[in-house]
Amino acid sequence: MRKILMLTALLLMAVVMSAAELKPVKYVFLFIGDGMSIPQRMLIDNYRKITHGEPAYINRMPYAAITTTSSASAFITDSAASGTAIACGEKTKNGRIGMNTAGDKDLFSVATHAKQNGRKVGIVSSVTLNHATPASFYGHRQNRGQYYEIGLDLVASEFDYFAGGGISKHNDTGNEAFRGDIYDLAAQGGYHVIEISSGGRAAFDALAPGEGKVLASIGGDMALPYVIDNLKCEVPSLAEFVAKGIELLDNPKGFFMMVEGGMIDWCGHANDAGTMLGEVAAFDDAVKVAKAFADKHPEETLIVVTGDHETGGLTLGFANSGYQSKIDLLKEQRCSSVIFARKVTEFFKTKPQASFEDIQPLVTENFGLKFTAGKDDPMLLTKGEKEKLQAAFDKHVAALKEAAEKKTRMRGNPFASAVMQVMNSKAGLGWASGDHTALPVNTTADGVQAEAFSGMIDNTDIAKKLKQMVR
């Protein structure tokens, strides 16, 4: 018994010593794929091996840890609780932003610690900058839906670089806390504010060291466009936002940068694997920018990549596909499920008496699914798949008729949803949910002291370790 107690004590001492041995790192990057767990990582890995001959970089990092994600109030977390855990190192209930479970105490993030220790800080996201995950690094609110108040926290943070999506409810005049448009308040607070959607791309590209604090967003309350829908758009990519952040933040005391791929989660909610591919690929490309910087500063840089939770219950396998994987068929998808749903809605507006045959070209044009083709064409719809789409078309028409008779708005988009389901099954993919799941996520790391992110950890451990490294 004494030997067991001594061994336990030695192990505890080793853990404490290991934690104490974590030393400051000059440049620290934390990448968070919202809704990204192991299935999402394997999806992009398999696709890139097929199409590019190599796996995604985020899956080639030398150290990895399986990471649990539950919140203080539920086995399945939301992004507010998980973001707070990753940012601050403490569990909280779903919905809380940078506050404890009771909602009566502010928690302080690794980003705040970095700022207090003289480092510059950057927050980048593909979704709105006051959304749950980025907000967890600077905000303190009982409810993640307090977007305007979180916007006030953004301005008050004094962080050096905010970039990516816009700011939700930035001009919420009906809010009791209203003090003015958040963009105006940021400018008054010394931020160089650039709204890229209003012709600000050139101004963003021209940003150079010495600008001071920067808020460079797409503008309004918008997220960045989905990569799959952004082929001719002038909005910078997530990788470009990271590259500019490095340029602006680099200084003798170093920096901390958090980067979120936020729309991976939205694709999971929509069960849209084709669009998700583009978002995870863009996220991987952004991490590669940090890696290129790390290669120039190998003794001074740490890169950590994680997810806040899994979304959608993605399964890399489908009953009708056996052991065959056809993920490469997703390359035939030409637009996001959001854009396709709009196209279907517009189709029925312009052709209210259309037949099932009339809508088939729209399906082929946007998803590559073929109603007639050679029997060996993998995109040829089976009899069962055609019947499924026909039934969805009939359901859609009936729902439109009912909405018109009752003078109400039609809910959902049965036909667009069915097309998405068929596309997933063609690619050999399944989804268990349209929401978050309790799957653990994978945390990978590269660079100085990356070995600290190994084994089995909790999401709170990420903040605990990083806080030591930004001392």
Give me the mean pLDDT over the 232-252 stretch: 94
- pLDDT for the residue 321: 66
Give pLDDT, residue 426.
Answer: 93
Residues 178, 322, single domain; the answer is no
Same domain flag for 386 and 288: no
Query: Around Cβ 364, how many Cβ atoms within 10 Å?
Result: 16
Residues 6+ apart with CB under 8 A from 317: 323, 325, 428, 429, 430
Mark whether 303 and 201 lie in a shared domain: yes
Q: Which of 266, 292, 295, 290 is nearest to 279 (CA)?
A: 266
Q: Which residues of 47-77 are buried (b: 16+ CB within 10 A; e: fewer)?
A: bbeeeeeebbbbbebebbbebbbbbbbeebb
Confidence of residue 11 (pLDDT cuts 50, 70, 90): very low
CATH number, domain containing residue 111: 3.40.720.10
Q: Is the pLDDT of residue 257 over 70?
A: yes
Tell me how many domains the chain contains.
2
Domain that holds residue 182: 24-314+440-469
Q: How confident is the model at residue 433 (pLDDT cuts 50, 70, 90)?
A: very high
Asked if residue 334 and residue 301 are part of one domain, the reply reads no
Give the number of other CB atoms < 10 A from CB of residue 285.
17
Q: How would residue 189 be classed by pLDDT, with cut points 50, 70 and 90?
A: very high
Residues 360 and 279 in one domain: no
302 and 326 both lie in a single domain? no
Instruction: Return the closest-CA partner of residue 335 out of 349, 320, 346.
Output: 346
What pLDDT sits at residue 235? 92
- Residue 5 falls within a domain, yes or no? no
pLDDT of residue 370: 97
Query: If you average pLDDT over residues 270-289, what whole number do you get?
Result: 97
CA 181, distance to chain mean position in Å, is: 26
Whole-number Å distance between alpha carbons of 127 and 286:
15
Distance CA(155)–CA(168), nearest Å, equals: 14
With tokens 């999506």, the residue in question is: 165
339 has a pLDDT exceeding 80: yes
- Per-residue pLDDT at 37 exceeds 50: yes
Q: What are phi and psi of 430, to 5 degrees?
A: -130, 155
On whether residue 433 sits in a domain, the answer given is no
Please tell me the least confidently modeled range out of 242-251, 271-280, 402-411, 415-424. Answer: 402-411
pLDDT over 60 at 241, yes or no: yes
Please indicate, yes or no, whether residues 61 and 174 belong to a single structural domain of this protein.
yes
Can you tell me the mean pLDDT for 119-124?
98
Is 239 among the domain residues?
yes
68-77, 245-254, 318-327, 372-381: which has the minimum mean pLDDT? Answer: 318-327
pLDDT at 183 over 90: yes
Residue 12 falls inside a structural domain: no
> What pLDDT score does 32 carry?
98
Please indicate, yes or no, if residue 14 is contained in any of the structural domains: no
Q: 123 in a domain, yes or no?
A: yes
Portion of the chain with pLDDT greater than 90, in percent: 88
Q: Is 271 helix (H, G, I), strand (E, B) or coil?
A: coil
Q: Is the dihedral of CA 175, 180, 184, 187 positive or negative?
A: negative
Are residues 121 and 178 both part of a single domain? yes
Question: Do residues 354 and 397 make contact, with C-beta atoms less than 8 angstroms apart?
Answer: no
Residue 233's pLDDT is: 72
Specify whether 263 is located in the same domain as 401: no
Residue 13 domain flag: no
Q: Please state whether beta strands 301-307 and 214-217 pair in parallel, antiparallel, or not at all (unpaired).
A: unpaired
Please check whether residue 180 lies inside any domain of the structure: yes
Q: Indicate whether 334 and 230 sit together in one domain.
A: no
354 and 342 housed in the same domain: yes
- How far apart CA 468 and CA 471 sit, in angstroms, is 6
310 and 323 in a single domain? The answer is no
